[in-house]
């Protein structure tokens, strides 16, 4: 399994790597900048993009990143490089930064709406791209004053410029250390079997199991607005968006 630089060095945007395996039009690297799309902890975020250049060859745009069998696999517009090839990886850092801001905003709004936990989620909260995120609440209606109060809380956390830390907790400590997160049907602490889970924590605000990318501080999120707040069948749909980078 290759080294996942998006976890160990999230601020890095370029890296040299070696192709370690090929499978059809996909290939694996001994180290990768590109985070795959994942639903393991029910906070999906789109996969990273960027470019890969084979040593002495052409650049090819990364068009797909996914995980399978514990390995991260990549697809590019051009033909896949052969096993043993040396490649230069370049992350689309602006795209990653926008998704990270949206993901942190999603956590802040989810914590504000689920305090108390009486608005369960009917689907996975999701980072959609373009600075937007989506929450599907298992309720036909959410009063505007409650939405306004949640947005005020989010703005307060952003203004406080709190640190956003990444780490792991033991699975058997989840009930004690994680922020309550209600789904319908119930699934309060989602995650694959294991002894520890990755978490994203904003001290005093929320700690959620999550393998997505995030801002270093809440102040990096900037302004958060709701673009949609409406009933959708038996659900209430919220689409939030972060404004220009502060």
Which pTM value belongs to this model? 0.94
pLDDT band at 190 (very low <50, low <70, confident <90, very high): low
Share of the chain above pLDDT 90, in %: 80
Give pLDDT tens digits for 125-156. Answer: 999 999 999 999 999 999 999 999 999 999 99
In angstroms, the CA 86 to CA 57 distance is 10
pLDDT band at 40 (very low <50, low <70, confident <90, very high): confident
Share of the chain above pLDDT 70, in %: 98
How do the residues of the chain divide into helix, strand and coil, expressed in percent and rounded to 5? 20, 40, 40
Task: Specify whether the CB–CB gap between 205 and 157 falls below 8 A.
Answer: yes
Query: Could you tell me the CA-to-CA distances from 141 to 117, 129, 133, 241 in Å, in that order?
Result: 15, 26, 19, 20
Give 191's contacts (C-beta < 8 A, 6+ positions apart): 40, 41, 171, 174, 197, 209
- Better pLDDT: 122 or 1: 122
Domains of the chain: 3-91 (2.40.30.130), 96-242 (3.30.980.10)
Q: Average pLDDT in the 158-180 region?
A: 91
The one-character DSSP state at 234 is T
Bin 70: left if φ > 0, else alpha if -120 < ψ < 50, else beta: left
Q: Average pLDDT in the 54-65 region?
A: 91
Backbone angles phi, psi at 158, to 5 degrees: -65, -45
Q: What is the mean pLDDT of the chain?
A: 93
């Amino acid at each position: 399994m290759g080294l996942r630089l998006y976890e160990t060095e999230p601020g890095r945007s370029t890296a040299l790597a070696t192709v370690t395996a090929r499978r059809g039009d996909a290939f694996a690297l001994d180290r990768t900048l590109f985070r795959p799309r994942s639903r393991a902890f029910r906070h999906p975020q789109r996969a990273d993009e960027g470019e890969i250049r084979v040593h002495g060859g052409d650049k090819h745009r990364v068009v797909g990143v996914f995980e399978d069998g514990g390995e991260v696999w990549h697809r590019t517009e051009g033909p896949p490089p052969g096993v043993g090839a040396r490649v230069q990886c370049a992350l689309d850092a602006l795209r990653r930064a926008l998704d990270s801001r949206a993901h942190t905003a999603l956590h802040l709004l989810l914590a504000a709406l689920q305090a108390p936990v009486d608005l369960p989620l009917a689907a996975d909260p999701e980072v959609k791209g373009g600075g937007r995120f989506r929450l599907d609440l298992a309720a036909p209606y959410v009063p505007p004053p409650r939405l306004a109060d949640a947005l005020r809380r989010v703005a307060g956390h952003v203004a406080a410029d709190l640190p956003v830390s990444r780490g792991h907790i033991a699975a058997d400590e989840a009930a004690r250390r994680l922020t309550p997160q209600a789904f319908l049907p119930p699934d309060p602490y989602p995650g694959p079997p294991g002894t520890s889970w990755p978490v994203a924590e904003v001290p005093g605000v929320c700690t959620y199991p999550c393998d997505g990318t995030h801002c270093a501080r809440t102040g990096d999120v900037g302004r958060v607005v709701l673009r949609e707040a409406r009933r959708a069948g038996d659900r209430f749909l919220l689409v939030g968006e972060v404004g220009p980078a502060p």
